[in-house]
Structure 1
Amino acid sequence: MKRPVLIFLLLAGGLSFSACNKHIYVPNTVNAPLLKERYEFKGSVSPTNYQAAFAVTNHVAIMANGQYVFRPDFNSGDESEDGLFVDQYVRGGLFEGAVGFFQPLDSRKRMVFDTYAGFGAGSFKTLDVAFNDESATGNNNDYLLRAHFSKVFIQPSIGFVHPAIEAAFSSRISMLNFYDQYLGNKVFETNPDRRDNFMRVGSKSRFFFEPAFTFRAGYKYVKFQMQLSFAVPMEDETYSGYEVSQYFQPVAFGMGASVNIAQWYNEFRKK
């Protein structure tokens, strides 16, 4: 089945995901700092993502991002908390760094464009759905799925920046290369075709279109932040009768706090 690329079709129900999906990639929060001036710093923290960006000149900035996904019911054997997009057993994360360019688009510097290019690496692991069976034997490693990956991305964003409110749209494109994949001896135990399907995930580079909508609200230096993001494979492939995309979490939603240290707040009321 071909997956729609347009995001509104994604939301309209063109997905074939279910609670049985096992994810070895969960998109991290897109860092959309929307910096305006030299020496400005912006950072954010949420339960699973940690981000920072710093402007080294009036147009050049650097960023660093970290992610760690940990769902505490990894050993519960209870799938009741699984949702349409969330794999309750997934653990892992990534680290990445980037260099970027930013440019205010109007004289009052309320609209900002930025773009970053970066590199990262990480890994995720999860458990086969068979781990929930009452008849399951063995330990976690017997049902374990795991993969490491490297990541290259480019990320343009545009947004509105105000002392009280910020809003941004980002359109990150990521290239991932999966390697060191591992399957426990009981994963897809009765389905060798699906075992082959999983191992083919690392057969070539995987490209993702990862749009994100970011909103911040508060006052000056500290704001509440929320973001809705997507990970849409740019090529939908099937090996051994199964879609490779079933191993990638398609939607992420995060909330946290954002901190911004900048001089432009002092000049805002004077303009």
Structure 2
Amino acid sequence: MRFFTILLVLVAAGCSPLYIPTTRNVPLFREQGEFQASVIASTGAEVQTALAVTDHVAVMVNGSLLRQKISEPESYTRSHTFVEGGIGYYKANRRSRVEIFAGYGLGKGTSYSQYYFFEDYFGQKDLVATGTYSRIFIQPSFGQNNRRFNLAFSPRISLVDFSEFSSNDNNPALDTETIKPNEKPRLFIEPALTGKFPLVGNLQGMFQLGLNIPADSETFFDYVPLQFAIGIQLNTGSLRTRVY
């Protein structure tokens, strides 16, 4: 646990990019009626929920929030908010669980970086800017079906579209300039490994290590390349193996 805590601090403090992917929500349901709610610490704080509507169909709603005071090289408040929803199909047998979700979300982030489309207004330099974006994702997951501990692999694919940026160069005396860059959405490959283990009753712990890899090496915004998350989940199905 100490190693996980140190890794979380290092990942969270290592950089301040604009695009912060959410932790992959991997419910690993077994049957209709199961509900899962999670509180997660990652690059910010996250809340995730999921519900098995039928024996094979499930829905999820996820949200993330980050507020961080930055003093160097410029004083500003780094922020990020994101909300998404998804629907998916799942199937479980005696040894394994398989699921696939698709969804859509909206977010906004403020960070300090250089954006070529602000050069005509503020010159060629790093500056504080806010970007608004949408994301479409497809997330398959392949997991175990054990009593005590489960691992799952989720090779998520996300299409990220930053449609609008605004900045006044962090100077209240200047007008805020809003730009809609002529850029296409960027595709990200976001694989992750998730572990789940029982705590007490219907509470379980979870951890996740994920990568975020752009399909196009020339992205015009910064992103988190490596993520570690740790959290607590309420799961009405716990980790018990269903009898088939």
Please give the TM-score of this superposition, normalised by the length of structure 1.
Answer: 0.69
Show the counterpart of 1:169: 153
Aligned pairs, how many? 209
User: Does structure 2 conserve the Cα–Cα contact (< 8 Å) formed by 1:236 and 1:244?
Assistant: no
User: Does structure 2 conserve the Cα–Cα contact (< 8 Å) formed by 1:89 and 1:127?
Assistant: no
Q: CA–CA distance in 2 between the matches of 1:263 and 1:255?
A: 17
Residue identity opposite 2:85 in structure 1: G
User: Does structure 1 conserve the Cα–Cα contact (< 8 Å) formed by 2:163 and 2:180?
Assistant: no
Show the counterpart of 2:194: 214
Show the counterpart of 1:205: 185
Q: What does 1:104-143 correspond to in 2, within 5 Å?
A: 104=92, 106=93, 108=94, 110-128=95-113, 143=127
Counterpart secondary structure, 2:51: strand
Q: CA deviation at 1:26?
A: 0.8
Residue identity opposite 1:262 in structure 2: G
Q: What does 1:40-189 correspond to in 2, within 5 Å?
A: 40-47=34-41, 48-71=45-68, 73-74=69-70, 76-77=71-72, 90-104=78-92, 106=93, 108=94, 110-128=95-113, 143-185=127-169
User: Does structure 1 conserve the Cα–Cα contact (< 8 Å) formed by 2:134 and 2:160?
Assistant: yes
Q: What does 1:2-21 correspond to in 2, within 5 Å?
A: none
Instruction: Say which is worse superposed, 45-54 or 151-160, in terms of deviation.
Output: 45-54
Show the counterpart of 1:16: none
Residue identity opposite 2:25 in structure 1: N
After superposition, give the CA deviation of every residue in 1:20-44 in whole Å (9 maximum; x if it has no partner).
Answer: x651101110001110100011121
Q: CA deviation at 1:164?
A: 2.4
User: Does structure 2 conserve the Cα–Cα contact (< 8 Å) formed by 1:175 and 1:208?
Assistant: yes
Q: CA–CA distance in 1 between the matches of 2:91 and 2:60?
A: 16
Q: CA deviation at 1:128?
A: 4.8
The runs of at least 4 aligned residues of structure 1 exceeding 4 Å deviation read: 199-202
Show the counterpart of 2:175: none
The verdict on how the C-alpha distance between 1:115 and 1:70 changes in structure 2, with shifts beyond 3 A counting, is same
Counterpart secondary structure, 2:24: coil
Residue identity opposite 2:133 in structure 1: F
Q: CA deviation at 1:96?
A: 0.4
Q: CA–CA distance in 1 between the matches of 2:197 and 2:78?
A: 30
The verdict on how the C-alpha distance between 1:143 and 1:114 changes in structure 2, with shifts beyond 3 A counting, is same
Bigger proportion of residues as helix? 1
Bigger proportion of residues as strand? 2
Show the counterpart of 2:5: none
Q: CA deviation at 1:150?
A: 0.7
After superposition, give the CA deviation of every residue in 1:71-101 in whole Å (9 maximum; x if it has no partner).
Answer: 2x33x3379xxxxxxxx96311210000000
User: Does structure 2 conserve the Cα–Cα contact (< 8 Å) formed by 1:98 and 1:117?
Assistant: yes
Q: CA–CA distance in 2 between the matches of 1:202 and 1:226?
A: 38
User: Does structure 2 conserve the Cα–Cα contact (< 8 Å) formed by 1:122 and 1:149?
Assistant: yes
Q: CA–CA distance in 1 between the matches of 2:193 and 2:106?
A: 23
Give % identity: 30
Residue identity opposite 2:40 in structure 1: S
5+ residue gaps, structure 2, are 1-13, 115-125, 172-178
